[in-house]
Structure formats: C-alpha cells, structure tokens
Structure 1
Amino acid sequence: MEKIKVTVALSGLNNIDSPGPGVPVIRGLKESELLDVRIIGLAYENLEPGIYMHELVDKTYKVPYPSDGVEPFLDRIRYVHEQENIGVLIPNFDSELFTVMKSERILKEMGIRVFLPTLQQFEERHKSNLPEFGKKYEVKVPYSEPILNLQDWRGIEEKFNYPVVVKGKFYDAHIAYDREQVSIYFNKIAAKWGLPIVIQEFIRGTEVNVVAMGDGKGNTIGAVPMRKTYITDKGKAWGGITLKDSAMLELTDRVISQTRWRGGMELELIRTAKQELYLIEINPRLPAWVYLAVASGQNLPEALVLLALGQEVKPFDEYEVGKLFIRYSYDMICDLKAFEKFSTTGEL
C-alpha cells in the first residue's frame, strides 16, 4: 500500500525539562506505516531543541506568540504555507488552541486541516469549569474555585482544608500548605500565565494518566493508561509505565462518548486508597509522553493526521502492558551559524 504524502506543521519543539509534545509526536509520525511525512517545525524561542534536530524536523519557522493575536498568527502561517504547502497543522500547546480553533475555517480555506476539540469542548473542560464538568458527565472531580485576587481566597478559604493545589489556567500547579504559600504561588503563576488562578481540593492518592483520541462522533480511537514512576520538581513525568486498568479505560470511553471529544486528550487522574478515580484535569491535546502509546502499539499521532485528512481510522483494540519510558538528558551539539540564522531570519 502506497503511503499518503503529507506536510505536517507542528509546535512544541521545546524538548527540555518541561517538554512539549512536539518531538514525541514527530517520532510517532516518522514511524508511521501509512504516512510519508515532511515535518515543518513552528518555534517560539531560538533555543528550542527541536529546531536543530534535523533528522526529525525538515525545516523550522519562528512564529508569533498566541498572545499576539489571531492575525499575526494567520499571517505567519500563510507565509509558511506558501513555502511548504502545509497539509495538517498540529498545535501542541494549550495556549495556542483557542487561536487555532477560532481560525479553523480560514485554515481550511487555505488548504490546511486540523483535528481539534470544538470551542465548547475546550471551554467546558477548563480547570475553572471542572466542577460543572464533573456534574454534567457524572465524573468525580475535586472541589475547586477560581479566584482573581488574594482577597477572593480569603473569602472562600474556610471551604478548603490545607493543603490545597494552586493551578494556573494553562500550566503550573503547586501544593500549598498555608495561606502564605497560596499567596506565593498565586503571584508566581499569575505573573506567568494570567488570571484566573484555580484553588483545588488536594486529593491524596496515586497519580495516573490516560492519553486518548476521540473521533468527534463519540468513539474512542485509542487510549493508553500510564502510571508515573518518576516525577520532576515541576510535576512532569520523567518515567512511566503502561497499565492494564479497565476502570481508567471505562472512564475515558465515557468522557469521550458523552462529550463527543474530537482530537487528542490527556486525562490526569488520582486513584485514592479506596480505589476511587478523581479527574483532576483534562489536557485538550496529546501529552509529552505520547510516544509511550506509540511504542505500546497505538500510534495516536498517526491517527490524528489521518483523521484530519478525512481518512477512516480503525480504533486500536489493544496495547502492550508493562511498557516503560524513561527520559534522559542529551547534549546536542549545534553550529553557531545555525542558531544565528534562525535568530535573524526566523527560518532554518
């Protein structure tokens, strides 16, 4: 069977201590038996390692930050499209998704396909909306409240017991053991990611995760559960192992079926000592550990591109249990001229 040739543009090339999903998504696409992929990287910073991984990324372009607005983003994508003829665009950061979803019709007119959650799906799974999400879909979630300032926290503090989890609207989460720590983390996260800040009930238990893909019609294309075996001080998984867990898979199927989820997702869960599963977060895209799913037999990046192209994708029905991933640091040596070229021209 002849492979489908397609140019895929994607972000998330910051393969550092808090890695983006870009490089593992690329690895999955490069290993596809159905796709012949040319990879175009989209980078925000000059030192994102993926820019210089020429064995994985064919060419990289610098793009404006999502906070710059829709028009600068579209102008840059138009330019890249003129040079590269993008077939599929995969945004890998939460902060990009709103901009890309709002631009989906325009991108389609340009000939660029995406496969993302709808605006409703994106909004209702927000951390600040998680209590309502839990009620609507009958999923256990920790109690939480969004706040805009520290005075708001003092008004609701009695509703919580310490410790509490202080979360940013896109990224970052810290456990606070008293009012002073809440204040410190509030200011730190707000300065980086803006408001609101979410205060969430702390649930004791084991953190487990599921990476999954929905077809937008209520069907689960694939799902792989994982338990983190090593967590960094930033809360990122630096090691994990696939699990055989029917309860996690049932919960994932139920969420995808009821929401009719479209695209990739990660469910962050806590399993308590009583074996109850609490949903603490839904990330509306493939996570940085998605290559574990690929290695376990479910090439979800491949499925994402095929769905974006309108191809029929057969759901995965199994994965390898007990597959382990371990991240490591690697000194990649680059030529200063390459860095200078990207810094000055925005292309490499």
Structure 2
Amino acid sequence: MSKRKITVGVSGLNNIDSPGPGIPVIRALKESSEFDVRIIGFSYETLEPGIYMHELVDKVYQLPLPTAGSSMLKERLQYIAGIEKIDVIIPNFDAELHNFIKIQQQLKSELDIATFLPSHESFEERQKSELNKFGEKYNVRVPKSHMINQLSELKKLEDDLDYPMVIKGRYYDAYVASSHEQASAGFYKIVSKWGYPVIVQEFVTGTEVNVTAIGDGYGNCIGAVPMRKLYITDKGKAWSGISLEDDTLMEITRRVIENSKWRGGCELEFIKTKKDEYYLLEMNPRFPAWVYLANGCGQNHAEALVKMALGEEVKPFAGYKSGKMFIRYSYDMIVDITEFEKISTTGEM
C-alpha cells in the first residue's frame, strides 16, 4: 500500500543541549506507516541545528518571535502558504502556542491548514502559575506554588515555604535555591530571560518520572508512555531515560487527560516520593523533547496527532514496551556559510 503524501510544518528545531521537540517529532513522522511526509521547518533563530538537517527538513522558513503577536504570525503563514501547500502544523514551543491557539480556526478556514491544539481555557488552566487550582480540580497532588512579581515578596513566602525551594519561569527554566541569596539570583535570572511573573514552588524530593501523552479533546487518552530520567544535565534536561511499568502513574495521567479533555500532545512531569506519592510539577502543553522514545515503545504520537488534525478517527494505543531506553548525543554538522547567510538574510532556505 502506497503512503499518502502530506506536508507538515514543525517548529522547535533547536536540537541543542536544551533541545526542542521538533527534531524528535520529525523523526517520528518520517517513520509513519501511513504518511509520506514532507517537512517544512519553522525556525526563530538562525543557528537552530534543525535548519541544516536536510535529510529530515525539506524547507525552512523563519517565523516572527512570539512577542510580535498572532497577527504577525498569521501574516507570515499566509506568505508561506502562498508558496507551500501545508496540510498540518505542529508547534512545539510553549511560548508560541498562545498565538497558534488564537488563530487556529482562521488557519483552517482561510488557509486550509489543520492544527490539533488545546483550547485557550485548557491551555491557561494548566499554567505553572495555576498549578494549585489545577491539582485541586483534577484531584492530583501538586507542590505548593506562589506567583511573585517583586523580590520583596520572596521574604514573605519564607514563612510558608522552607528551603530548598524552586524558582521557575512562566515558560521555561527552574533553579533550586537553598538560601535567600540563591533564590534572589534565580529570580533575577528568570526575570531577565522570561519576564514576570516568577513562580516559587515547594521543593519535593524523590525520583523524577515523566509521561508523554496525547488526548483527543473528547476525554480519551489516545496514548501515554512513562519514563524515568537516568541522566540529567545541569539544565535539568533528561539526557537518557527508560520507559517504565507504573500502573499508578498511568492511572493519574489518564485521569488528568480524560477529565481535562486535553486536546493534543503534552508532557506531565512528576516527582515520585519514597512514600510512593506522586506530585505533578507541571503539565507542558506540547510534546517533550524525548517524545521519540514513544516510537521505540510502539506508540507514534506524532502520527496520531496528524491523523486527528486531519479529522480521522484514531483508536487509543493498546499498550507500550517498558525497558526501552533513549540516550541523547551531540553531533557536529558541517555546513556552508552560504546556507547560514541565506536563512539570515531571506528568512527561508
């Protein structure tokens, strides 16, 4: 049976020491049993390695930074759609999702580009700043969290939270602080990079376990694969991990996906304590950078998302293989300066 030809736009090409999900998503799509996929890469920086991975990415266009707003994004995508026939777009950065969610209906009606994204309400309710309410609503343990906009508020929180505590950005980055001085330094680092608010969170000790999952938006968990981190970088990123058999973790994940009617891919990050209690640290509204492990475990989440974006019925995956490991590695590509110049000057390549 010949595969169907489709074109998919994918962002998150920053396959660096703190990698984006774009390249793993593309690798999963290239292994699709149903689709022959042409990939349009969307980049924000000119040194994102995925731009130059020609065996995976067929064409690249730069997008305006998310801070430019949804109208600028739509204008740029209108230009790109005049050149490329894009069937589906999979955005992979937290910071860009708000704009894509805002214009997802227009993309479909005006440009015939499908997406499969959460609703604005679902996206907002799982924000790190809303974690306490989220945990209460969906009956899942969460660490105590507070939002602050001024460093002076940190002192007041010391009555409620003990050190160490975690200082987090709204979208990315987290610092474990063992003193007021370290917490202050973390606060300023977060503000300089991601702005306000800053989240101050209770530090829960235990084992980090994460789940990559996908929901159909109607209360069905289409797929889920849990993983324990084996090697963590100084940025807190998993450099290797192993898929787990953990019925309790899967039950919690399904409950959250089903009750929230989550639509699209996501990652749930947990701490499992010595008492076998699970604390949800955050729910990321897109595939994680380690989503390719799901392929190795028998679940192609990227392919399932594309099918649902195209309006096709997808049955939940029956199971997954535990004991499968991923090991990340760095790799030097040699590229010609003319390629860098082209993406830098024209915004496409």
Paired with 1:312 and 1:248, the residues of 2 have a C-alpha distance of 26
Q: CA deviation at 1:5?
A: 2.0
Map 1:72-221 to 2 at 5 A: 72-109=72-109, 110-221=111-222
Give distance in 1, aligned partners of 2:275 and 2:158. Answer: 27
Structure 1 outlier segments of 4+, above 3 Å: none
Q: Distance in 2 between matches of 1:25 and 1:130?
A: 27
Cα distance in 2 for residues equivalent to 1:163 and 1:215: 38
**TM-score, scaled to structure 1:** 0.99
For 2:320 and 2:336, locate their aligned partners in 1 and report how far apart those are by CA, in whole Å.
Answer: 40
Looking at structure 2, the residues matched to 11 and 274 of structure 1 have their Cα atoms a distance apart, in angstroms, of: 39
Cα distance, 1:72 vs. partner? 1.3
CA RMSD of aligned residues (A): 0.8
Q: How far apart, in 2, do the equivalents of 1:225 and 1:31 lie?
A: 21
* Correspondence 1:58 to 2:58: yes
Identity of aligned residues (%): 59
SS at match of 2:268: strand
Partner of 1:25: 25
CA drift of 1:71 comes to: 1.5
Residue identity opposite 2:332 in structure 1: D
Alpha-carbon distance between aligned partners in 2 of 1:149 and 1:62, rounded to the nearest angstrom: 35
| Helix, strand or coil at the partner of 2:39 | strand
Secondary structure of the 2:158 match is: helix
Which moved further from structure 2: 309-318 or 25-34?
Answer: 309-318
Q: Does 1:310 align with 2:311?
A: yes
Amino acid across the alignment from 2:6: V
Deviation, 1:35, is 1.0
2:6 & 2:81 partners in 1: Cα distance?
Answer: 13
Count of aligned residue pairs for this structure pair: 348
Aligned partner of residue 84 in structure 1, secondary structure: coil
List per-residue Cα deviations over 1:127-173 (Å, max 9, x = no partner): 11000011111100001100001111122221001000000000000
Between the aligned partners of 2:103 and 2:5, the Cα distance in structure 1 is: 24
User: What is the alpha-carbon distance in structure 1 between the residues aligned to residue 156 and residue 227 of structure 2?
Assistant: 38
Structure 2 gaps of 5+ residues are none
Distance in 2 between the 1:47 and 1:248 partners? Answer: 37
2:96 and 2:198 map into 1 onto residues whose CA distance is: 19
- Bigger shift: residues 312-321 or 168-177: 312-321
Query: SS at 1:122's partner residue?
Result: helix
User: 1:214-253: per-residue Cα shift (whole Å, max 9, x none)?
Assistant: 0001001100000000000000000000001101110011
Shift of 1:3: 2.4
Kindly provide the amino acid, as one letter, of the partner of residue 63 in structure 2: V
CA distance in 2: counterparts of 1:330 and 1:251, whole angstroms: 37
Match of 1:71 in 2: 71
Report the Cα distance in structure 2 between the residues aligned to 1:2 and 1:218, rounded to whole angstroms: 33
Q: Deviations over 1:72-122 (max 9, x none)?
A: 111111111111111101110000000000011111111011101111111
Give 2:9's aligned residue. 9
Counterpart of 2:231 in structure 1 is: 230
Give the superposition deviation at 1:319: 1.1
* Aligned 1:284-299 pairs, distance under 5 A: 284-299=285-300
Pairing of 1:251-330 with structure 2 (within 5 A): 251-330=252-331
Supply the distance in 1 between the matched residues of 2:52 and 2:308 (Cα, whole angstroms).
29
Q: Partner letter of residue 307 of structure 1?
A: M
SS at 1:158's partner residue? coil
Give unpaired runs (5+ residues) of structure 1: none
The answer to whether 1:331 aligns with 2:332 is yes
SS in 2 for 1:46: coil
Q: Which moved more, 1:117-126 or 1:151-160?
A: 151-160
Deviations 1:190-237 (A, max 9, x none): 110111100000001000000000000100110000000000000000
